[in-house]
Structure 1
Amino acid sequence: MNADRTHSRARNRGGQTVEDAISRYLNHKLESGGSRSTMKPVLESFAAFCTRESVEYVDDLDSSDCREFGLELREHYIDGEIAGSTANTYFAYVRAFLSFCVRDEQLDTNPAATESAEEFLPEDRPSGETQFWEPAQRDRLLEYADERVRMAREETIDVSVERAYRDRTIVVLLAELGLRGAEMFRDTNDDERTGLLWADVDLESGRITVFGKSRDREPVGLTKAARSALERLERVQDPPTDDWPLFPTDHAASKYAAVEDATGERPEPGSDIDTICRDKRVAPPSITKEAGRQILKQLTGEAGIELEGDQEYLQPHGARRALGAELYEKGHSELAQSALRHKSIETTHKAYSDIKAEDVAQSIDEVRE
């Protein structure tokens, strides 16, 4: 939540809550070309957003709230979780709901029907823009991450050993487990997404627990490669507390602020802030989603990986899509559903409908031969 939005909002106790208004809308009036089944999860997501923004009643909503929701959709687009066209469709569903609220005399005007509210929405492009990590690209990125660790140990590059292992582990967890960037890194727009901590890792049982898209704690099993990467990172990092992040920030000012918040005293400028954090057992913040993207952009470029079209780097969500595609292509659709933690097999089928169509065509050819 933005700092300027933490003020106490005026409440109209005679008004209708956002959740009640959404329920009324879904039960009695649907617009914008959406069915109840397609609009319901989007509007429930909007209701959850309103809760995070301390908006309880419909008449508390204003254009800046809708603008923030548009920015959140843009973040999902940047992370590769939804297409630009999908972000615009979701916003259209919310706009249609708020138009209903105007007619229902819950609002005077529609706060989503302004240029300001729509400013952050991504360009409306077709869903074909979604990226996959090709096997050769994935293998090269993993290979380079290993090379970088070796070079850091030999001190032939200006990268610390701990940072090299940190970045290598990021690549491995993305490639092996298909984790979302929002499940691994800190989200500056969501106070509950603080990034993975060592308390989330159970190497003995072979699992890691993430704060999933559903906003529930979800266990994820570790493959051999993922488990090995985490074991090596733990040995190198030697986290002093369980609340230490797997991927601590390199941003010194953030570490200074963490120590000051925890102790009430700010270390002197030029201090060895990393040693101070360890000595005082003050965990630094995790890197942000944007920092995670920058790391992948750097590694993609340094590894000399060629990309098609206007793609700049291997995005986090591309690894997730690739893992699901690999399992789906081999006929393991239920395993793909479990690995990606989709709530239903229909979601998995929809995500890889192009692969399913190709399989059907191949089966027809085989029958006719």
Structure 2
Amino acid sequence: MTEHTTPGVQPVDTVVDHYLETLTDRSRLVVEPVLEEWREQFALETFDAVDTDLCREYSRYLNRQVDRADRDLSAGTARTYFAYVRAFLSFAVRENCLDTNPADANRATELLPDDDGKRERQFWTPAERRVALEYCTRRVDSALDPPIAPSSIVRERLRDRAIVAVLGFTGVRGAEVFAVPGDDRRDGLTWADVDVEGNTITVFGKSQSYQTAQLPDRAASALERYRRVLEPPTETWPVFPTNHYPSKRRALAEAFSDERLETMLERRDIDELLREHELAPPSLSTNGVRSILKRLTARIADESDVIDYDEDENVYLKPHGARRGLGHELYTRGSAELAQSALRHQSVDVTHESYSDIQTADVADRVSEILEDES
């Protein structure tokens, strides 16, 4: 495969390319982004740095990703990712890049997240999505009925409805729409990213590239109604701007001296100043949208037994639950390819893997029918 014969000195990216050539097209689509993320995470150039400690750190990294709701990574998938890397390292051993496979050591795997074989089933059901939207719409109607509520309340309620509609119908990840703290690339959706007429939004996807996500009519209309009230002064204005005062103040501080800023804030509202000078505030963060959804879920649960809320058990309508719910609904209706397209999975195999529990249930139902016919 390579002219190098001494273990450790071979370029990792070259060996990855050769390994991918040995896989089927479907397997390559799934494995390639995992190996690329692994290599970039540890800035690997040669195999000199690939040892048990690095594999252990990769286990720790995967474990942390499972705890991030915006990443939408289950414990089972994390362990699968590690298995992909371990298989690649076995290939590297055969190609004389390593003496032994460091991922085989117990020490390398003991930090992987536990997986009891049960998939997390927290997702928005169609009924939960419907009830959540109906509740948000009632709040909007109430704010607009005479006497009309203050503009800030109207904007907030239209924003909440738009958040539920976008999450519920588009299949986007929270990190693709809202700002992720500590990640400058994920700074939230702007109005320039929204094409209502074309029924699409542009997001920075899990693949670390920009992708086009579908925007069904009900989500598009909720956004359009919200935009008319928000009146963003520029196309680069965030769709869901933060209401965090210190963050908005920092946006102004980048353009004005402390002394002038103090004088301005004594005379004008901070939102008015941001708009007048076209200084966009930061987007609502993934943490912020989870707080909003917790509050909404608690209120809805008081009125309806369709939606559950448990603060202690962290049960509420989570952003990644909306994505899973949409995929689940499309998949159970026999539209695996449509689910793949809506969720932007790299291949339909990824979709099948994500909803293998549904396939198993369908097989059980079909077997039951056959056995009943024989009785």
TM-score > 0.5, shorter chain as reference = yes
Does residue 278 (structure 1) correspond to residue 275 (structure 2)? The answer is yes
**Alpha-carbon distance, 1:91 to partner:** 5.3
CA distance in 1, matches of 2:57, 2:369: 55
Contact in 1 for aligned 2:169/2:219 (Cα 8 Å): yes
Counterpart of 2:185 in structure 1 is 192
Counterpart of 1:165 in structure 2 is 158
What is the SS of the residue equivalent to 1:291? helix
Contact in 1 for aligned 2:29/2:347 (Cα 8 Å): no
For 1:360, the aligned partner's letter is V
Counterpart of 2:321 in structure 1 is 318
CA distance in 1, matches of 2:88, 2:77: 17
Cα deviation 1:171-206 (Å, max 9, x = unaligned):
001111111111111112322111111000112222
CA distance in 1, matches of 2:182, 2:49: 20
The range that moved more, 175-184 or 358-367, is: 358-367
Decide whether aligned partners of structure 1 residues 40 and 228 sit closer, same or farther in structure 2, where only a CA change above 3 A counts: closer
User: Which of 337, 353, 375 does residue 350 from structure 1 map onto?
Assistant: 353
List aligned pairs for 1:31-42, cutoff 5 A: 40-42=32-34
Counterpart of 2:4 in structure 1 is none
CA distance in 2, matches of 1:273, 1:114: 56
CA distance in 2, matches of 1:74, 1:22: 25
Cα deviation 1:257-296 (Å, max 9, x = unaligned):
12222x2534228552211110110111111111111111
**Alpha-carbon distance, 1:299 to partner:** 0.9
Give the number of equivalent residue pairs. 342
Counterpart of 1:182 in structure 2 is 175
TM-score of the aligned structures, taking structure 2 as reference length? 0.75
User: Which of 10, 13, 19 does residue 19 from structure 1 map onto?
Assistant: 13
Counterpart of 1:268 in structure 2 is 262
**Alpha-carbon distance, 1:220 to partner:** 2.3
CA distance in 2, matches of 1:81, 1:209: 19
Decide whether aligned partners of structure 1 residues 332 and 94 sit closer, same or farther in structure 2, where only a CA change above 3 A counts: closer
List aligned pairs for 1:203-352, cutoff 5 A: 203-261=196-254, 263-266=255-258, 267-268=261-262, 270-271=265-266, 272-304=269-301, 305-307=307-309, 310-352=313-355
Cα deviation 1:195-226 (Å, max 9, x = unaligned):
11100011222221111211222222321211
CA distance in 2, matches of 1:91, 1:256: 43
CA distance in 1, matches of 2:175, 2:272: 28
Does residue 146 (structure 1) correspond to residue 137 (structure 2)? The answer is yes
Cα deviation 1:313-333 (Å, max 9, x = unaligned):
111111111111211212222
What is the SS of the residue equivalent to 1:232? helix
Contact in 2 for aligned 1:209/1:217 (Cα 8 Å): yes
For 2:279, the aligned partner's letter is V
**Alpha-carbon distance, 1:139 to partner:** 1.7
Decide whether aligned partners of structure 1 residues 82 and 157 sit closer, same or farther in structure 2, where only a CA change above 3 A counts: farther
Does residue 362 (structure 1) correspond to residue 365 (structure 2)? The answer is yes
**Alpha-carbon distance, 1:242 to partner:** 0.8
Cα deviation 1:80-100 (Å, max 9, x = unaligned):
712134335545766898999
Decide whether aligned partners of structure 1 residues 69 and 99 sit closer, same or farther in structure 2, where only a CA change above 3 A counts: farther
Decide whether aligned partners of structure 1 residues 335 and 243 sit closer, same or farther in structure 2, where only a CA change above 3 A counts: same
CA distance in 2, matches of 1:205, 1:82: 30
Contact in 2 for aligned 1:80/1:316 (Cα 8 Å): no
User: Which of 58, 70, 93 does residue 79 from structure 1 map onto?
Assistant: 70
Decide whether aligned partners of structure 1 residues 151 and 99 sit closer, same or farther in structure 2, where only a CA change above 3 A counts: farther
For 2:182, the aligned partner's letter is N
CA distance in 2, matches of 1:26, 1:344: 16
What is the SS of the residue equivalent to 2:262? coil
Structural RMSD (CA): 4.1
CA distance in 2, matches of 1:139, 1:278: 34
What is the SS of the residue equivalent to 1:45? helix
For 2:184, the aligned partner's letter is D
CA distance in 1, matches of 2:251, 2:214: 31
**Alpha-carbon distance, 1:57 to partner:** 3.9
Cα deviation 1:203-257 (Å, max 9, x = unaligned):
2222211112112222223212111101101101111111101010111111121
Contact in 1 for aligned 2:247/2:281 (Cα 8 Å): yes
CA distance in 2, matches of 1:294, 1:123: 27
The range that moved more, 124-133 or 206-215, is: 124-133
**Alpha-carbon distance, 1:18 to partner:** 5.2
